[in-house]
Amino acid sequence: MRILITGAEGFIGRALVARLLEGKDASIGSALNDAEPNASFLGAPTKRQLTLIDQQFERKLADSRVRLIAGNIADPDVLSKALQGGVDCVFHLASIPGGLAEKDFELGLAVNLVATQHLLELLRRQHHVTRVVFASTIGVYGVPLPEVIDESLEPAPTLSYGAQKLIGEVLITDYSRRGFIDGRSLRLPGIVARPPAASGMLSSFLSDLIRNLSAGRSFLCPVAATGTSWWMSRTCVVDNLIHAAELPTEKAQTQRVWLLPVLRASMGDVVAAIARIHGEDVLSKVSYQDNPTLRAQFANYPPMRSPRSIAAGFKNDGTVDDLVRRALDGPN
């Protein structure tokens, strides 16, 4: 099984790589081994060959199953090199996040849209159909949001990032319709808890809230305690990415875009969960200063209903306490 992961050195990418190499595919039920090579589409871990693309790699994976390609996916030569020899499955995670894509339109366009289109074109020219899992975003819905979100809601992005991802979804669906690829797009919510780095993500305060309070540090939350968001841990999103890759082709043919089920919780709900896990003194370490712009984009989320995704086996973290416990799991 030849697997390509773009954005492999990123927050989600690192955890996905670790899971694929370890073989602990939670969505499949248990670790796979060589004795059951046909147990899943992705096959046995020892038979997986991973090609990883990112701008640079801080770590060197001493694993014969891994090939590292450092470079910008907006460079056609980088993608061409990555696809040499063919590929069976692509996890397309690389992107320029919302805040940075707003500041630098050309950069966002090049990475979020043009590179996606070029990747699809290269896959179309292969001699077989490649399975593609595309990391899209709930940002396709824009703001303000209606009172309830469900799987029939028409997207209306209000950031360039959301618009670029929506176009990517349309391309994935059309290339799949024509039989060029076998694609599935997942609309991801805020994933926590990201490392404290300059990621360009306007929603980084959601991760900072969990990371700082869990470590016993004070935190000024930039939205009110009543502000509600949609949450998912990195462990859970990796479960869902792998599940999307495992989804049978016949099921994907009836639905190419999946709105992941999420936990909807207020800032206060998450703080209370952290306090239950790490001690009541957490409550004295948090304060709130409401930023209307951030609240409108990331903390004014209504209930979400995604019964088709749930029926297809996608999942959330279960409870807010479980979300907090899992939020700091995995590689840094």
CATH number at residue 100: 3.40.50.720
Does some domain include residue 154? yes
For 138-166, give one letter per residue: b (16+ CB within 10 A) or e.
bbbbbbebeeebeeeeebebebbbbbbbb
Specify if 200 maps to a domain: no
pLDDT band of 39, cuts 50, 70, 90: low
| Residue 299 clears pLDDT 60, i.e. is over it | yes
Q: Looking at the domain assignment, is residue 143 inside a domain?
A: yes
Distance from C-alpha of 331 to C-alpha of 15, rounded to nearest angstrom: 6
Residue 195: closest CA among 324, 34, 10: 10
Residue 59 has pLDDT above 50, yes or no: yes
pLDDT reading at 324 higher than 90: yes
Q: Out of 161, 175, 288, 301, pick the active-site residue.
A: 161
User: At residue 31, does pLDDT exceed 60?
Assistant: no
* Contact in structure between 220 and 262 (CB atoms under 8 Å): no
Within-domain flag for 215: no
Rounded to an integer, the average pLDDT of 249-260 is 94
Q: What domain count does the chain have?
A: 1
- Distant-in-sequence, close-in-space partners of 9: CB < 8 Å, separation ≥ 6: 52, 54, 55, 56, 57, 58, 59
The mean pLDDT of 90-119, rounded to a whole number, is: 95
* Residue 125, domain member (yes or no): yes
CB atoms closer than 10 angstroms to residue 36? 11
pTM of the model: 0.91
Residue 24 in this model has a pLDDT that exceeds 70: no
Note whether residue 33 is domain-resident: yes
pLDDT at 96 over 50: yes
Q: Is residue 223 part of a domain?
A: no
Do residues 217 and 157 make contact, with C-beta atoms less than 8 angstroms apart? no
Note down the domain range covering 56: 2-191+231-262+304-316
- In the prediction, which pLDDT does 190 show? 83
The answer to whether residue 183 is domain-embedded is yes
Our answer to whether residue 161 is catalytic in this structure is yes
